[in-house]
Chains A and B, each alone.
Chain A
Amino acid sequence: EDQVTQSPEALRLQEGESSSLNCSYTVSGLRGLFWYRQDPGKGPEFLFTLYSAGEEKEKERLKATLTKKESFLHITAPKPEDSATYLCAVPANYGQNFVFGPGTRLSVLP
């Protein structure tokens, strides 16, 4: 069964304190890994797609990396506005839907 796990479940950082979030997956034949940001009461907002091991993508204070079994979302010098839940997802082995992890709830304190 396709599975996506994320750690930690929740993370509290001081403003400026860099850290990383982890996403591990068990699908075979990866057809892309997708990172989303979700604010309370809103739908997930697309951030990055990674397609192959070794690939990296950056956007402002966020950098996503991919290995054969996991992805990391690195947050450098975070600000309070980076507080959100970060979700990762992979296409299901069979079908067109995405399988989502449970998310990491990030809080950045001023």
Chain B
Amino acid sequence: AQSVAQPEDQVNVAEGNPLTVKCTYSVSGNPYLFWYVQYPNRGLQFLLKYITGDNLVKGSYGFEAEFNKSQTSFHLKKPSALVSDSALYFCAVRLNTGGFKTIFGAGTRLFVKA
């Protein structure tokens, strides 16, 4: 079955330190991969995507993600965390079923401590 896994329920990091939020996927073919962020009582916001090309993609607010085909991973990273980055982060994959069906991981709560 096609799926997205975020192995960590929560990630804690000190402000100024680098952060990584992990994501692995199980999808047939070449996936379209996405990261979204959700702040309290808000909808999800698109951060970045990998479609093809360079394995390191850059997105909003200084975030980037690294696509690794052999490890079927798409980890979200940021060199220096901010307290304002504290939020719920979702990894998502668009399935190769001819449409736009997009499934999401369970989400990882990022907590950045000042």
Q: Is the A/B pair a real complex?
A: no
